[in-house]
Amino acid sequence: YREVGSQAISYTTGVPAMCGALMMLTGEWTKPGVYTVEEFNPDPFLNALDKYGLPRSENHNPVLVD
């Protein structure tokens, strides 16, 4: 809330939607026909998420909790 002046859900919903629109507008995700987002290259989208405020991380050795 402090960062954007709104609820967190609006930010975590809005940024991915904006990044998806960005992929279409920049031509990253365009093919003739009908496709699901899973059929497109995810790397430009994930990089945009990092750039516009929803950075990600991956852990291949998580600590398990009982």
pLDDT one-digit tens code per residue, 28-54: 998 899 998 899 999 999 999 999 988
| pLDDT surpassing 80 at residue 6 | no
**Considering the entire predicted model, what is its pTM?**
0.74
Q: Angle CA(20)–CA(58)–CA(14) in degrees, nearest 5?
A: 25
Mean pLDDT for the stretch of residues 3-19: 83
Q: What percent of the chain has pLDDT over 90?
A: 50
**Cα–Cα distance between 44 and 42 in angstroms, integer?**
6
Residue 7 has pLDDT above 80, yes or no: no
